[in-house]
Amino acid sequence: MSRRILFFALFVGGLATLYVAARENVSLATLTAKEAALRSALGEYPVRGFAIGFAVYVGVSLVPGTTGKAIVAAWLFGFWAGLLMVNIGLTVAAIGSFSASRYLFHDLVASHWERRLTRVNHALARDGPSYLFAARVLHVPFCVTNYVMGATPIRLRGFWWSTQLGILPGNVIFVYAGSQAPTLETIAEEGFSSILSPGLIIAFIAMSVFPLLVRALVHRVLRWHRHRR
């Protein structure tokens, strides 16, 4: 989560840098024109544009450490299309990594993460897929979790729903943040003030508060789940 907040700060800082560069006679017009052309193409061919964006997003999601994808996707596609792309795309990538671990690299994963796998198997025996759901909500490293889970007995259905639902709250926050970032054209027209919009300020606050609230909520839900059992 903290890495995503850092990426968002760098993303907004990059927009501010572009504005300052434009003030120093480094042309922003070319970048603005290219962005406008891209957005025009996405508007003219929305289905094709979304399909290409989705495929790229899934591919990038398979690479560990690629933080900030949700923010960029929402900046280009908007909130609802961005949320659909991000949530389903991440889940598809997760299932791909999970399946590769289970059917191709099971022994390698089991030997490399032996201690972690022992703890995870114990937690799954105690909490079931709810353990993975909690890990997703708390943003435990995405790719590592996928591979480790592939070496456990968890069923694909349990892996799917706990991933799809668990990543949703955080994705809503980051997609909202990306959708509030101004376009280059807006920066060129309105100046630096467009980067300090109320929407971006709300996004920063939400990203800062969200991890604390989620951590407390997840611990309560897990305690309730264990008590029921």
SS (H, E, C) the chain: CHHHHHHHHHHHHHHHHHHHHHHCCCCCHHHHHHHHHHHHHHHHCHHHHHHHHHHHHHHHHCCCCCCCHHHHHHHHHCHHHHHHHHHHHHHHHHHHHHHHHHHCCHHHHHHHCHHHHHHHHHHHHHHCHHHHHHHHHCCCCHHHHHHHHHCCCCCHHHHHHHHHHHCHHHHHHHHHHHHHCCCHHHHHHHHHHHHHCHHHHHHHHHHHHHHHHHHHHHHHHHHHHHHHC
Residue 3, pLDDT above cutoff 80:
no
99-113, 167-181, 187-201: least confident range? 187-201
The C-alpha atoms of residue 8 and residue 16 are separated, in whole angstroms, by 12
Neighbours of 101 (CB within 10 A): 21
Which band of pLDDT confidence, cut at 50, 70 and 90, is reported for residue 167?
Answer: very high
Q: Check residue 189 and give its pLDDT.
A: 79
Question: For residue range 24-41, what is the model confidence (pLDDT) as tens digits?
Answer: 444 567 778 888 899 999
Question: Looking at residue 212, what is its pLDDT?
Answer: 79
Mean pLDDT of 205-216: 80
Residues of the chain with pLDDT > 90, as a percent, come to: 54
Distance CA 128, CA 55 (A): 31
Residue found under tokens 């951590």: 215
pLDDT of the residue at 2: 55
d(CA 89, CA 84): 8
Work out the pLDDT band at 5, boundaries 50, 70, 90.
low
pLDDT, position 6: 56
* pLDDT of 25: 45
What is the model's pLDDT at position 194? Answer: 73
Nearest-angstrom CA–CA distance, 10 and 204: 12
Please tell me the least confidently modeled range out of 43-47, 121-125, 138-142, 204-208: 204-208
Please write the tens of the pLDDT for every residue from 39-73: 999 999 999 999 999 999 999 999 887 778 898 99
When the pLDDT of each residue in the chain is averaged and rounded to a whole number, the result is: 85
Backbone φ and ψ for 64, nearest 5 degrees, come out as: -65, 145
Taking residues 177-185, report their average pLDDT: 87
Distance, CA of 67 to CA of 170 (rounded, Å): 13
The reported pTM is 0.84
Mean pLDDT over 102-109 rounds to 95
**Who has greater pLDDT, 188 or 11?**
188
Tell me the domain boundaries of the chain: 2-228
